[in-house]
Each structure stands twice: as C-alpha cells, then as structure tokens.
Amino acid sequence: MSDCDGIVRAMLEQTDNGLNSISQIFPKTNLSTDHQSEQRSSLGERVSSRIGFNVPPLETENIMSPFAVSRSQTNVPSPLIAVSPGFSPSALLQSPKKFSNSFSQHIIQSPVANDGPPEMVESSGGDYATTMIFNNDVPHQPMNFDHMPHHEGFYDIPTEESVYVPSHESHADLIGAPLVTSFESDEVANETDIMNIISLDSEDEDEDYKEDEEYKEDENVDEEDDSVDELPPRKRRKYEVSDMFGAKRSRKDERVILRMECEEDNPDDGYQWRKYGRKIVNGNSNPRSYYKCTYGGCNVKKHVERGADDVKLLVVTYDGKHNHPIPTGRSSNRSGPRNRSGFSVSQTPRLGRLPSSSSACQYCYSSLEPHPDMALLYMTGLSKLQSFPVNHNHGFMYRHDEPIIDRVIPDRTEVYNGMKDRLLPNFGFNF
DNA sequence: CGAGTTTGACCAGCGC
DNA sequence: GCGCTGGTCAAACTCG
C-alpha cells in the first residue's frame, strides 16, 4: 500500500462526526485541535444544513465579533480538505474557464447539493472574481464574516472569492494542507452561485470589449493613429497610456487570487510571464511585482506580492483569462535555471537589488509532479463539495482591508466520501 | 547582443 | 477638484 493510499484510507476512516482532525493525520498542516475546531465545526454544520447535508443548523447567537473570531481561529483544526501538495495552481489557472466548467459540472452532479431547501438558493450576482488561497498556515485564515450585513443586495457586490489549496512547502507530505473553497457572501453558495462566481468569461468579457471600444472612441484613437509620432513626448506618452489595457484599473471580477506559502516569488503556474513592473503598494512593505503573459495576443496579467505580516505568504493575483492553452513543450518542473525566453522567474539577484526568487522554491515545484493529475484529483474529488462561509481577510491585498467572506468545506465526512467516490473511479485507488 | 529585470515617471481611477 | 494609490511604460541595467 502506498503512502497515498494510507493517507486516503486514514481520511476515510474518519467518523461521521469527523472528529479526527486532518491535522492529526497530516501534522504539517499546522492545524491543531481546540476551540477552533468547534468554530469551524459549527459553521460547517450551519452551512451543511443549508445545503442539504444532514447536520444540525448553526446557532448564530454565538457568533463572535470578527476580531474575536480572528483570534479564535489561530488554531483551527478545521474541517478542511487536505490535498496533496502536488496539486498545482497551474491546473486551476491554465484555464479559468476549464476550472469553471469542471467546478460547476461536478457540483451539478452532486445529488446532495441539490437537495437543499429553497432558501439556500441565493443570488450572489454575476460579477465575481475568484480567490484561491494556497495556504497551510492557519494564522492566515481569513476573518470570520458573520458580522457582515445580511441585507438584500449585499451579495451583488462584486468581490473576490477564495479557495484554500495546499501549500507548496508541505511537499514532503502527499497530503498536507487544507483546502477550502471560499465565497463572497456568508451564505452558502449554490450551484448557480459557483458557476457565476467561477466563470470568468461570458458576458463580462463582452462588456469589457464594449468598454474598450467605447474608450477608444472617446479618445479618438483612430484619428490619432497616424499622428502619434508628431506628438510631444509627454502627450505621446499620454496617448499610449490611454490606449493601453492597463490604463484602467482591472476589473475585480476578472481576477483569480492565489495565496500560498512559498519562498519563490513567482511560482510556476504553467504559463510564461514577463515582469514589467515592481511597486510597493500601500499597507505592504513588500514590493508587488507585475507580470504579463508572454503568449502572443494574450493580455493576462498577474501581480505577485508577499504578505505584509508574513513574508512566507505569497499572494498571486491573475487578471484576465488566457486565450491559449498552457505552452507546450515545457515542464512545470522548476528545477534548474530557466532560459530567458519566456519564463518569468526573476533572475539571479543583481548588485544592489533585492533577490526576487529563491532556489528553495525550485525544489518546491520539482517535487510536486505530476501537477495535472493532482489538479484532476481536485476537480473530480473535491469540486462538488459545498463550502460555507467562514471568514474573510484579504488584509494586505486591499486598500481598506475590507473583511470578505470565505467558505470552507462543511463536513469532513462529506469530504472524505467525496474524495473516495472520485478517487476510486478516476484514479483507481483501491480502498 | 539579445532578452529579461529594475526603477522612476507617468497616468487614470477612486475616495474625500 | 484634489490628492492618493495602483497599474503601466520604457530607459537603463544586468546577465549569459
């Protein structure tokens, strides 16, 4: 029996109550058992009940203030799903559309999720971005979001979403970190929500094009096309900036945000990036690096920054959608130096400049193969599992540190069963 | 010398 | 309207 089999078996041997924390099986998750377990559990019960799982409803009168919750979560054992660190962000990022389809597809296929009461069907609006949090470091658990207003229309606010996925630093374990899907509202996301949330194309894309066209018309770009060279330097630059994609601030609903623990400043996501900027943003002394996808015609950008309060935490924000597959002929194995023709990892630190990458993380990824398979594991085994809101703390990522809600898998038993159901047919695991 | 990074300047969005 | 801030550009720089 392989180590992976043993781990999965151990997970499947959980009681229906899910009393055995994942951290007991996977110490590297840094999750411990204490009152936070109760916190997660009760939230899980609440949401589980809402989405049809057979668990008691949450008693909301005991909801803490966001600060209290934040403190209480420092040791959350969490009903989080543990996924092999081999799971690669590239799988989710190589095609947000693919991620969307896969995610929603499996949710739709879930017989349990559809059995929920009518009131659990809530509209979260169409303008959502996606946040994925690669993290096995509990202190970075987002804040509790139960204090947020529940008035109607609140869910129309476009914001980011979160998903916990394993840290790359835990690559020593086959399964070593929590995975939590997170959503904007503090209510359960139904299938429609998730489809809306995860889907990064469709109408929004068309709207973007319309906006771009209108923008060009307003700027009389066409008329100026032939006279650009005659403009004085200042004006010419203004024209150029006006016409460029990034002149306008990116739409949040086109974003995918990853949080992970990684020493490398630009972890491999399968695509090729070129760094075009670096800036220290408000509230974070760590510089933010800006990257563009080097694929011709692809306007996807991303920026990478360290956590303000934890340099181990890496936040990668993707803007846009790749209009191409992951470049072929390359391996996600990051060991060894990269050539200069496409890979975006910063070069060896130069004189008087901050190091922008570390060799440690190259090992990190080299030990994570095969990424696609683990991505499939996630897609097939975990994606259908419902999540529920826990907390939000985009903290250093946003100007005003607005608390935003995250969701976690509601019940470990469901997680295990879901994994079992999908590992068996899809990967041939024999339990 | 080609290719990628760094860094200061610039611009536009947003909040007050 | 103004100032702050995030995002981008491009010259200068570095490396192989």
Q: A303-359: per-residue pLDDT in tens?
A: 888 887 777 788 888 887 787 877 765 433 333 333 333 333 333 333 323 333 333
Per-residue CB contacts under 7 A with strand B, chain A residues 69-98: none
Taking the C1' atom of every nucleotide in all shown strands and the CA of A265, the nearest one is: B5
Which residue matches tokens 């979560």?
A: A73
Report the nucleotide nearest the CA of residue A277, measured to C1'. C8
Q: Which tens digits make up the pLDDT trace of A34-55? A: 333 333 333 334 433 443 334 3
Nearest by Cα to A266 from A87, A85, A89, A97: A89
Calculate the angstrom distance between C1' of B5 and CA of A277: 9
Helices (DSSP H) in A80-175: which residue ranges?
89-93, 96-109
Residue A287 pLDDT more than 80?
A: yes
CA atoms in the 13 A half-sphere facing the CB of A254: 20
Checking each nucleotide's C1' against the CA of A242, the nearest proves to be B11
Most confident among A64-68, A142-146, A317-321, A420-424 (mean pLDDT): A317-321
**CATH code matching the domain that covers A1-22+255-325, chosen among 2.20.25.80, 2.40.160.10, 2.60.40.10, 3.40.50.300:** 2.20.25.80
Provide the CA A20 to C1' B4 distance, Å, integer: 49
pLDDT of residue A254: 59
pLDDT value at residue A398: 33
pLDDT of A183: 34
A244 touches strand B (CB under 7 A): no
Q: How many of the other CB atoms lie within 10 Å of CB of A152?
A: 9
User: With pLDDT > 90 as the criterion, what percentage of chain A qualifies?
Assistant: 0
pLDDT of residue A155: 34
Looking at strand C, which nucleotides approach a protein CB closer than 7 A? 4-10, 14-16
Interatomic CA distance for residues A158 and A126, integer angstroms: 8
Segment A81-98 mean pLDDT:
41
Distance A16 CA to B12 C1' (A): 55
Strand B bases with any atom < 7 A from protein Cβ? 2-14
pTM: 0.44
Answer yes or no: are the C-beta atoms of A346 and A59 closer than 8 Å: no
A288 pLDDT higher than 80: yes
Closest CA to A81 of A403, A371, A377: A377
State the pLDDT at residue A74.
33
**Is residue A406 predicted with pLDDT exceeding 50?**
no
Tell me whether the omega of the peptide bond preceding residue A77 falls within 30 degrees of 0, making it cis: no
Q: What is the pLDDT of residue A320?
A: 79
- A90-137: per-residue pLDDT in tens? 544 444 333 333 333 333 233 333 333 333 333 333 344 444 444 443
First to last CA, chain A: 10
Tell me the pLDDT band of A225, cut-offs 50, 70 and 90: very low
What residues approach strand C to within 7 A at the CB?
A: A 237, 240-241, 244-247, 249-250, 276-277, 279, 281-283, 288, 290, 292, 301, 303, 319, 347-348, 350-351, 399
Residue A266: is its pLDDT beyond 50? Answer: yes
Task: Check residue A252 and give its pLDDT.
Answer: 53
Nucleic strand B near CB of residue A356 (< 7 Å): yes
Residue nearest to nucleotide B3 (CA to C1'): A340
Mean pLDDT of A235-248: 38
Residues A238-264, mean pLDDT to the nearest whole number: 56
Q: In this structure, what token pair is assigned to residue A142?
A: 């987002």
